[in-house]
Amino acid sequence: MRAVLWRVRVFAGQFGLLAALTLIAALLITAAPRLANDLSDEALREDVGRLPYTARDITLFERPESLSTDPTLASAANALTTYRDRLPAPLPGLVGEAWFTAGLEGMTLAPSGPRTQFGLRTQAGAPERVRLTTGRWPANDSDTDTIEVALSQRVADQLAAPVGTSLRIDPAPNQVGGTAPVTVVGVFEPLDGAESAWESMRLALEPFPGLPPDTPPAALAMTDGAGLARAVLSLGPPSLSWRYRVDESRLDGGGLQAVTTALAEVKRTPPGPGLSTSTNLDATLVRFDGQLRAVSALLAVVQAGLVATLLGLIALAAALAVERRREEFALLRARGGTVAAIGGRSLAESLVVLPLAAAVGWLLGTYVPGRPAATGWLVVAAGAVATLAIPLLAAASQRRLSFTARRQDLVRHRPSIRRLTAELFFLLVAGLGAVLLRRRGLSADGGVDPYLASVPVLLAVGAAIIAMRIFPWPLGQLGRIAARARGAVAFLGLARAGRGAPVTIGPLAVLVVAIATGIFSGVVMSSIGDARDRATDLEIPADVRVAGYSFAAATAERLTAVPGVTAVAPFALDPASRLTQSNGATSSVQVAVVDATALAEVIAASGAGVSLPAALVEARPSDGPMPALVSPDLADAVADGGEATMGSYTYGFTVAAVADTFPGMGPTAGRFIVLPLQALPDPSVVAPDAFLVAGEGMSPQALHEASAPGSTQTVTVTTWSDHRRSLDQTGANEVLTFTFTTGAVGATALALLAVGFTVLAGARVRGQVLSRLRTLGLSGGQGRGLLVYELVPLVGIAVLAGGLVGVFLPRVLGPALGLSNFSSGTAVRTALDPLLIGAVLALVVAALAAAVLVENVINRRMRLGEVLRVGEEGS
C-alpha cells in the first residue's frame, strides 16, 4: 500500500487532472438535474399561483331541495373535512385552505330605484374577516319574519341602503315562490379584501354598476345560516359549494401525472352523492407537463453531450498519463510482468484517488437546491470509467511486447477490416437510434431512455468518424499547395497534421461532441425564439391590439385620431357561430369578420411577418356570396360554399383560400371561417370586439381612453412586444434558459479544454521538432505559427462536423423534442442566428489562442534547448 501511495504522489499531476475531471462530471450529473427540477417546480408554482380561483380550486357543488337550520356550523364543517379526505390521492395532502359557502343567486331586488340582480351568501368564518362600520352582524333565528343581512360599504352606497333599510327580494325568473323581506342590520369593510375567501363572492365587496340600458347592476349581501334557511323557504333551493384551494407550494414536477389523474377522477366521480365538480387545474398541469417533458428531453440531450465530452476528456487525460509512463510499463513488461499485473498495478493507484473524486462531486451536487434526480447510477458509471481508464489503456498498450523505440509523430496507418467493421456498426447503431427517437420520443412514459438520450452523442461521434475518413484527401491537397508556397511553416504544420499528430479519432470525437452540443443549444434557442415571433405575429399582427366587447361604430375613428396611429383594422370573432353546409348540415364553428383591406395596411405598417390572401383583401360588396378563408378541416365540407350565421345575420360565402392559421386568431385557431368585413352588405351591423393598430409612439393609455371614453367597459391594450415578452415568462421557460446556457457555456469550456489536452499530448514530440528547427533558424513566432497550422485542420474539421450535426439535430429530433410546447403551438423551424455563427468563429480563434498559450507554458518548462540532450527518443 505504501508503494501505491508513493506512486500516486509521484504522478500527482496526472491523477489530479483525472480527479478534477471526474469530480466535474459527477457534479454535473448530480447538480444539473436538481437545479432544473428546482427551476421547474418554481415555474409550476408561479403558473398555478397566477390562475384565477375558478381554474385553480377544486369546487364541489350541490343544489339540495331544503337547507338545514345553519349550514355554516357543525354539519357543513364536517362535510368540508369529509369531502376533502375522500378526494383521490394525492389531492388531500395538497389542499391548503378550504371554504364552505351557501347562497341564493339570480334573484332581483326592487327598491325605489332600478331593479338590481341580487344574491345572498353565508360563509363560515365571515364575521371574523370583516370590520363593522355601522350596526351589527346578522343574528337570525328559525322564527324570524324579516331576514337580517349585512352589506359592504360600497354595496350599501350603490343601493342607497344604510342600516335600517328594508328591501324586498323577488325569486329568480325560473323559480316559483314568494318574496322575502330583508332588513340591513350592519355595514362592514373587509379586513383584507384580497383574501382568497372573498374570491367566489366578489360582488359582496365590489358591486357591479351595470351597463345601461341592457345589463342591470348586481350585488351580494351577507347573512347567517338561519337567515339563508329562511330565505330558501320563499325563494327556492340554495346553492352549496365546498371549495378547496390546492396549495401551490406543495406541488412539484415529479407528481404532475398523479395529480392530473386524480383531478380527472374527481371530475368524473365526485366524493359524494348529488355533487358536481368544477376545476380547470388539470388543463394547466397537463400543459405544464408537456413543457416539462420537452425541457427534460432537451436537458437530457445537452447533459448527455456534456457528460460524453467529459468522459472523452478523461480518456484523453488517461491516454496522456499512460503515454508519459510508457517506458515504466515497458520496463515492467521486460522484467516479466504480465499485462494483468500492469493493469492491476494501475488500478490500485486509481482506486486511491478517482472513486473519492466521484464521491466528492456527488456530495457537492447534493447541496444544490432542488428535487434529487435518479442519476446516482450515472455517477457510479462515470466514476467507474474514470477509475478503469488508466488500467485498461496501460494493459492495452503492453499487449505486444516491444523493446524498440517508435516514432510517436507517425500514428496514422491503414485501418484494418475489423476497425472499419466496428465503425460501420457504430454508424448503424447511431442511425437506428435516430429513427427510434423520432418515432418514440425521449420521455413517453415520464422517464428518459438513456440510449435514446445518447443518440445525439452517437450521431456526433459518427460524424467524427466520417470526417476522419474523408479529411486526409483535402488535407493532402492543401499540403501540396503549401509545398509550392514560400516559407516552410505552413507546409510543416499541415504535414504534421496529415501524418496524424493531433487529428486522431480521440481528440476529434471529443471536439465534435462538444461543438455539436453547443451549436445544438444555440440553434434550438434561436429556433424557439423565431417560432415565438411568428406566434406573436399570428396573435397580434400589429403594433397594438385593443380588445374589449362590442365596441361602438365610432371607435375606429377615435383610435385613428390618437397621435402616432397610422392604421386601424376592426376585428370581430364569434367562437360559437352556426355553419350551414350546402347539403343542409349544420355545425358550430368560429367565425371572424375582419376588414381585410385595413388589416393588410396594418400588417404592412407594423412589419408583421404574416400576409393575407389577395382574394380577401380585394373583396368588395356584390350580389353573390362573398369570398372566405377557411381552415383545412372545413375545406372539404364547404367546397361548394355555405352560410355562416352570426347573431341574427346570415352570410353566404365561397371558399377563396385555405390556411391553417389567420392573423389575429392565434396559432391554434381550430375550425374557423374568416369573412371580409368590407364585403358585407351592411358592415355597421357587426360590432368589433378588437382593433389592430399600427403606428409609432402611441400611448396605451390614450388608446384605452379612445376605445371606451367615459365607460366602465373592460378594455385590454396589448402591445406586440408585451405579448412577445409574456411568451418568454410562462411555463418552464427558466428551465429552458438554464438548459441552453448550460449547453452553450459548458460545451465552449470543454471544447477549449479538449484543444489544450491535444496540445499537451503532443508537447514532447513537438518540443523535439521545435528544437531541431530552432537550430535551422526557426523563430519563436514561426514556432507558434507551426502549432496553429498543425491545429487548424483539427479545429476546422471539428467545427464543420460538429456544426452540421448541431444544426441538423433539431430537424432530425424535432418530433421527439416537442418544441412547439414553448411557442404557443406554433411549429418550430430550424433558424440559425447570425450571432451563433460569430460565436463559432470566436470559439475557433479562442481555441487557437488557448493552444498557443498552453504551448508557451509547456516550452518554458521543457527548456527546448535541452530537449535533444535530455530524454531524446530515437527516430
Same domain as 245, residue 232: yes
CB 813 within 8 A of CB 437: yes
Region 263-278: mean pLDDT is: 89
How is residue 180 annotated by DSSP?
A: E
Same domain as 287, residue 231: no
- Choose among 695, 659, 686, 687: nearest CA to 538: 659
Examine residue 261 and state whether it is found in any structural domain, yes or no: no
Same domain as 641, residue 670: yes
CB 770 within 8 A of CB 501: no
Examine residue 20 and state whether it is found in any structural domain, yes or no: yes
Same domain as 682, residue 738: no
Q: Which amino acid is at 291?
A: Q
Quote the pLDDT of residue 731: 67
Determine the Cα–Cα distance for residues 57 and 595; give it in Å rounded to an integer: 40
175: region left, alpha or beta (phi > 0 left; psi from -120 to 50 alpha): beta
Look at strands 649-658 and 642-646 and give their pairing. Answer: antiparallel
Q: What is the mean pLDDT of the chain?
A: 83
Which structural domain, as residue segments, surrounds residue 117? 93-252
Same domain as 232, residue 117: yes
Q: Give residue-wise pLDDT tens across range 337-355.
A: 888 888 888 899 889 899 9
Q: Give residue-wise pLDDT tens across range 23-38.
A: 999 999 999 989 988 8
Same domain as 238, residue 98: yes
Cα torsion angle, 397, 400, 403, 408, sign? negative
Question: Among residues 680, 714, 748, which one ends one of the domains?
Answer: 714
- Choose among 594, 559, 541, 824: nearest CA to 715: 559
Q: Which amino acid is at 514?
A: A
Report residue 748 as a C-alpha cell: 465552449
- CB within 8 Å of 606: residues ≥ 6 apart: 541, 542, 543, 694, 720
Higher pLDDT, 852 or 465: 465
Determine the Cα–Cα distance for residues 584 and 25; give it in Å rounded to an integer: 67
Same domain as 559, residue 525: no
Quote the pLDDT of residue 875: 39
Examine residue 77 and state whether it is found in any structural domain, yes or no: no
How is residue 200 annotated by DSSP?
A: G
Name the β-bridge partners of 132: 188
Asked if residue 824 has pLDDT above 80, the reply is: no
**What is the helix (H) or strand (E) element at residue 104, kind and residue range?**
strand 95-109
Question: Among residues 655, 684, 714, which one ends one of the domains?
Answer: 714
Quote the pLDDT of residue 265: 92
- Choose among 108, 239, 103: nearest CA to 177: 108
Same domain as 557, residue 662: yes
Examine residue 558 and state whether it is found in any structural domain, yes or no: yes
Q: CA angle 21-27-33, nearest 5°?
A: 135
Same domain as 414, residue 392: no
State the pLDDT confidence band at 448, using cuts at 50, 70 and 90.
Answer: low
Region 842-860: mean pLDDT is: 76
Same domain as 118, residue 247: yes
Number of domains, the chain = 4
Range from 25-34, 41-50, 400-409, 491-500 carrying the lowest mean pLDDT: 400-409
Examine residue 874 and state whether it is found in any structural domain, yes or no: yes
Determine the Cα–Cα distance for residues 810 and 798; give it in Å rounded to an integer: 19
Determine the Cα–Cα distance for residues 846 and 850; give it in Å rounded to an integer: 6
Q: Which amino acid is at 768?
A: Q
Quote the pLDDT of residue 754: 84
Q: Give residue-wise pLDDT tens across range 387-425.
A: 999 999 888 888 776 655 555 555 555 677 888 888 899
Q: How far is CA 161 from CA 115, 144, 151, 156, in A?
A: 14, 21, 8, 5
Question: Among residues 344, 371, 405, which one ends one of the domains?
Answer: 405
Higher pLDDT, 704 or 106: 704
pTM recorded for the entire structure: 0.80
Q: CA angle 568-572-578, nearest 5°?
A: 160
Determine the Cα–Cα distance for residues 90 and 73; give it in Å rounded to an integer: 28
Q: Which three-class secondary structure string do you get for 343-399?
A: HHHHHHHHHHHHHHHHHHHHHHHHCCCCCCCCCHHHHHHHHHHHHHHHHHHHHHHCC
Cα R_g (the chain), whole angstroms: 37
Examine residue 604 and state whether it is found in any structural domain, yes or no: yes
Q: Give residue-wise pLDDT tens across range 782-796.
A: 767 777 777 777 788
CB 223 within 8 A of CB 149: yes
Q: How far is CA 531 from CA 40, 47, 336, 523, 541, in A?
A: 22, 22, 67, 12, 14
Q: How far is CA 372 from CA 294, 362, 434, 557, 738, in A?
A: 19, 11, 29, 59, 17
State the DSSP string of 402-416: --S---TT----PPP
First to last CA, the chain: 38
Determine the Cα–Cα distance for residues 561 and 551; give it in Å rounded to an integer: 16
Determine the Cα–Cα distance for residues 231 and 692; give it in Å rounded to an integer: 49
Examine residue 265 and state whether it is found in any structural domain, yes or no: no
- Phi/psi at 369 (nearest 5 deg)? -65, 150
State the CB neighbour count (10 A cutoff) for residue 749.
15
Could you give the maximum distance between any two Cα atoms of the chain, in Å?
A: 119
Same domain as 683, residue 819: no
Examine residue 324 and state whether it is found in any structural domain, yes or no: yes
Same domain as 292, residue 355: yes
Look at strands 218-222 and 116-123 and give their pairing. Answer: parallel
Place of cell 361604430: 553
Quote the pLDDT of residue 713: 61
